Amino acid sequence: MTDAFSERLVASLPRLRRFARGLTGAVAQADDLVQSACERALTRQHQFQEGTRFDSWMFRIIQTIWIDQIRSRDVRKEETEVEDDRFGSDEPVRRVEARLALEEVRRAAARLPADQRAALMLVTVEGFSYKEAAEIAQVPVGTIMSRLARARVALTALLESGSGLRGSVSDAKAQR
């Protein structure tokens, strides 16, 4: 293992965790996924081509492991856990409410089908282009496009029917 490779891996951990959280909807599952991806990356670092995007390579590993887990372990959405309450009692109520609103958004995303979640995370959260997302997910660009549209429409509907898209927006903006 080279130090440079390891440093890149460590630096990418927050983003890898965020992506994995979006896929799994659960903290512990996401970290298990990232841990497996790190192990795999270290054992296969010779397969990484310098000059290509390291983050894309890692996201692809995570995506591959996640799909395999879904297939082999029948990972279900019901396993989604409620995230720890990390808010101190002395925090302003408004800020807590805003954060809870964002948690509602994450929960809404977790209710989407797995392939739609992946597309949503890659494009809307991680900022990959459709072409890059298609390469990571190993599907045609058109598939990413349709999955993404269904995901965005479903997410919008979920937020509107839940605590309210408008309410969530105002809550979220209140903490800025």
In DSSP notation, 51-115 reads TS-HHHHHHHHHHHHHHHHHHHH---GGGPPPPP----TTS-HHHHHHHHHHHHHHHHHHTS-HH
Are the CB atoms for 59 and 123 separated by under 8 Å?
Answer: no
Q: How many CB atoms lie within 10 A of CB 73?
A: 9
Binding footprint of another protein, residue count (CB under 8 A):
57
Q: Is 136 in the site for another protein (CB under 8 A)?
A: no
Least CB distance to another protein at residue 79 (A)? 8
Interface residue with another protein, options 56, 145, 162, 163 (CB under 8 A): 145
Q: Is 149 in the site for another protein (CB under 8 A)?
A: yes
Q: Is 75 in the site for another protein (CB under 8 A)?
A: no
- If the CB atoms of residues 93 and 95 are measured against another protein, the closer one turns out to be 95
Between 85 and 124, how does the x/- string for binding to another protein read (CB under 8 A)?
Answer: --------------x--xx-xx--x----------xx-xx
Considering only residues 8 through 27, tell me which ones interact with another protein, judged by CB under 8 A.
Answer: 9-10, 13-15, 17-18, 21-22
- If the CB atoms of residues 1 and 49 are measured against another protein, the closer one turns out to be 1
Between 29 and 48, how does the x/- string for binding to another protein read (CB under 8 A)?
Answer: x-xx-xxx-xxx-xx-----
105 burial level (CB within 10 Å; 0-12, 13-18, 19+): middle
Interface residue with another protein, options 48, 56, 60, 69 (CB under 8 A): 69
49 burial level (CB within 10 Å; 0-12, 13-18, 19+): exposed
Region binding another protein by CB under 8 A among candidate stretches 7-15, 48-56, 88-96? 7-15
d(CA 136, CA 59): 7
d(CA 20, CA 31): 7
